[in-house]
Amino acid sequence: MAMAALRREGRRFATPLISPNPAIALRSSIIPSQEQVSSGVRCISTQIVRNRMKSVKNIQKITKAMKMVAASKLRAIQTRAENSRGLWQPFTALLGDSASVDVKKNVIVTISADKGLCGGINSTSVKISRALHKLNSGPEKENKYVVLGEKAKAQLVRDSKKDIELIMTELQKNPLNYTQVSVMADDILKNVEFDALRIVFNKFQSVVSFLPTVSTVLSPEVVEREAAESGGKLGELDLYEVEGAETKSEVLQNLAEFQFSCVMFNAVLENATSEQGARMSAMDSSSRNAGDMLDRLTLTYNRTRQASITTELIEIISGASALEG
Amino acid sequence: MASNAAAPFWRSAGMTYITYSNLCANLLRNCLKEPYKSDALSREKVHYTISKWENGKPQKPTIRSDTPEE
């Protein structure tokens, strides 16, 4: 009789560990509960719960440290990104950022991070790149990808393999500087034919908000074409005098190359800033989750501990009463 | 007047404007005096890996780097 009661109690104490539901009342009735999952386990040892708590606490420490590191890197790179915005603004004022230009050869430059654990920014960049690809597809039109960064590479390789032209990775071994970005821009210019370059990156608005952006850089021929026909803002280029021994088309070519390099520099910096910001918020929410999990595990641990003490007491008392009676 | 076809010498040598301006910047950085010079030259380091893809297949990646590989 006593042993049956004990067995029932033991099984009921075991279920909280399998589903830590604080609603299960422990000490009240001896009615066997119908939702027992594991039989044959009288009391789970507190060791398992303790191990789990230790690992969750370690994870919390690690994610907190990662958040601090990301915060400090963010501060450094944010000032650089904001300062680099001044590089492309004159270009946009002069040559315009006409995202709606209809061209035959489109090259989509997707900028992403190399390391993970930074939230969803890489997926949004890839999503926008794919949308651009679809938007610009048509009978004579051609879309190619140039990928910067491992994360976008992993996603784009899955379904757009034949449209990829170049992949560049390992960008952040040295701190980002203009020379590196301009050498990469040079590589792109030399290896890829394009009428328009669309650079997809995450612009940094604030620590919690990153805006996926597309910047368009046109090739010099297209710029000339636009200047000649529409007469809109590009037509005003004729108002400017060209000094020196160069013709207007040479100046336009130099300007277009330099514009590409500047816009890419800004884009890479802004994406790096967004990456650090996203990593900071991801690690912050993960350490908060770890803290919640730790609280729940502590409650479970205490319940298990008390249950095992109660079981021992019951054994002793029932043993003693069996001796008397 | 120089002929417009071959205008800047670097353009006819195959360089882009970007390469030209990087070379000029390097010359300028080398004109500095010592403590500033090494600071400025450290801002010039380049390292990345690039691989061209043909028809959905990657070619062998090459590493462009200023720092010698260990």
pLDDT tens for A198-232 read 999 999 999 889 999 998 888 888 777 776 666 55
Closest Cα in chain B to A187 = B50
Contact A250 B25 (CB under 8 A): no
Q: Answer whether A179 sits within 8 Å of B25, measured CB to CB.
A: yes
Query: pLDDT tens across A237-252, in order?
Result: 667 777 766 677 778 8
pLDDT in tens, A281-319: 999 999 999 999 999 999 999 998 999 899 999 999 999
Q: How far is B49 from chain A (nearest CA, A)?
A: 5
Nearest residue, CB atoms, A164 vs list B25, B43, B53: B53
Which residues are registered as beta bridge partners of B57? B54
| pLDDT band at residue B6 using 50, 70 and 90 as cut-offs | low
CB contact under 8 A, A250 and B7: yes
DSSP 8-state code for residue A236: G
What are the DSSP calls for A36-102, one per residue?
----S-S---HHHHHHHHHHHHHHHHHHHHHHHHHHHHHHHHHHHHHHHHHHHHHHHHHH---TT--
Chain B residue numbers with beta carbons less than 8 Å from the beta carbon of A173 are 47-48
Report CA dihedral (A291, A292, A295, A296) to the nearest 10 degrees: -140
Q: Nearest by CB to B64, from A183, A189, A245: name it.
A: A183
In one-letter notation, the amino acid at residue B55 is: N
Residues from chain B that touch A247, judged by Cβ atoms under 8 A, are 4, 7
Q: Which residues of A touch B47 (CB under 8 A)?
A: 170, 173-174, 180
Distance from CA of B13 to the nearest CA of A (A): 13
Pairwise CA distance, residues B23 & B44, whole Å: 11
DSSP A138-204: -SS-EEEEEEESHHHHHHHHHH-GGGEEEEEE-TTSSPP-HHHHHHHHHHHHHH---SEEEEEEEEE
Handedness of CA A205, A210, A212, A215 (dihedral sign): positive
| CB-based contact A178:A265 (threshold 8 Å) | yes
Phi/psi at A235 (nearest 5 deg)? -70, -20
- Best residue in B17, B23, B57, B63 to probe A by mutation, most A CBs within 10 Å? B17
From residue A202, give the alpha-carbon distance in Å to each of A126, A183, A266, A277. Answer: 11, 22, 11, 11
Nearest CA in chain A to B67: A174
In tens, the pLDDT along A146-193 reads: 999 999 988 988 888 888 888 888 888 888 888 889 989 988 888 888
Smallest CA–CA distance from A192 into chain B, residue: B52
Nearest CA distance, B37 vs chain A (angstrom): 16
Digit-coded pLDDT (tens) for A129-141:
999 888 888 778 8
pLDDT at A10: 45
Contact across the interface for A258 and B8, Cβ inside 8 Å:
no
Cα→Cα distances A323→A63, A88, A316, A317, Å: 56, 92, 11, 10
